[in-house]
Amino acid sequence: MASISTSGGIQGLPQEVFHIILDYLGNNKTVLRNCSLVCRSWLQASRPRLFSIVSLYACERRLIGFQQFLDTHPDIAGHVRSLMLRHPMDEQSSGTDGPPEASITPRTLVRTAKRLPRLRECQFYFVHIVPSRPPDAADATPEDTHDGTESRLDLSVFHIFGSSHQETSPLLELLSCFRMDRLELELVTFVQEPEALTHLPRHVRRIEVRDIWADLDTADDEPIAILPPLASALAPGILQAFHCSWKDWDGCAVVGAFLHDVGSTILELALNMSVASWVEDLGSYNAKHGVA
């Protein structure tokens, strides 16, 4: 039988063999980096796994730096399936001129996402979304326009976790740039905006999302302030599933109004109010009215 060396050595093996081996090794980044240094065949097999999930500190300069990296490494962009942004470590939170660390603007994220043709997931952890500053004329790009004619980016999941006192307007602006199968809002609290701001701003397109999963059961006072402006922003006839959890009786009216506005096309509905809150309210009622 011919040896491997007579047919080109390890370089002569089919790529499927390398992928089978990597399946056994798992997605350990250190192992994948070491494999990518062995030879070109290992590099080709390792690179899609190394860059399938890109995790960055959530700040403007990090995203801009990643854009510059993609410009100089265009072969990497096609491997990225999930973009994860998270709160920076303490040593990363000094010396920038733009928005505070752990915050991003819709314009910068859209510019980044448009460089990733196979992007399917965005995940934010303790990230604050702040309004985009008007771009300078020399710096403006097609991504900065929101006239309703530009194409949207398709995502399977947009997940936001643990953002405290988030303004609704920049979030709606960001979401309007994507067409989403599922929007997940987990333990996110919102600023209660004035009545004039609860309607969709003219420059923001309507949001296209088929499934909303909202865990709004938090200790803050305004976890469900997002629902009225979100109802105004949703494209008609798009929403098919809604799953919502909240913490007290006051939220029932807000959730009910949301369903009244956008619930005509919903095929799957799950609502849950915190049991602890219900027990506390029931205990207070019983004590007040002398019920044993």
Most confident of 13-27, 33-47, 65-79, 192-206: 65-79
On the question of pLDDT at 292 being above 70, the answer is: no
Residue ranges of the domains in the chain? 10-50, 52-133+149-289
Convert the pLDDT of each residue in 40-95 to its tens digit: 666 666 667 677 888 898 888 899 999 999 998 888 898 899 999 998 755 444 44
Point out which residues pair with 213 in neighbouring strands. 184, 243
Mean pLDDT of the chain: 77
Is the pTM for the entire model greater than 0.85? no
Q: 208-231 pLDDT, tens per residue?
A: 999 999 998 776 656 678 899 899
**pLDDT at residue 251, rounded to an integer:** 84
pLDDT recorded at residue 15: 59
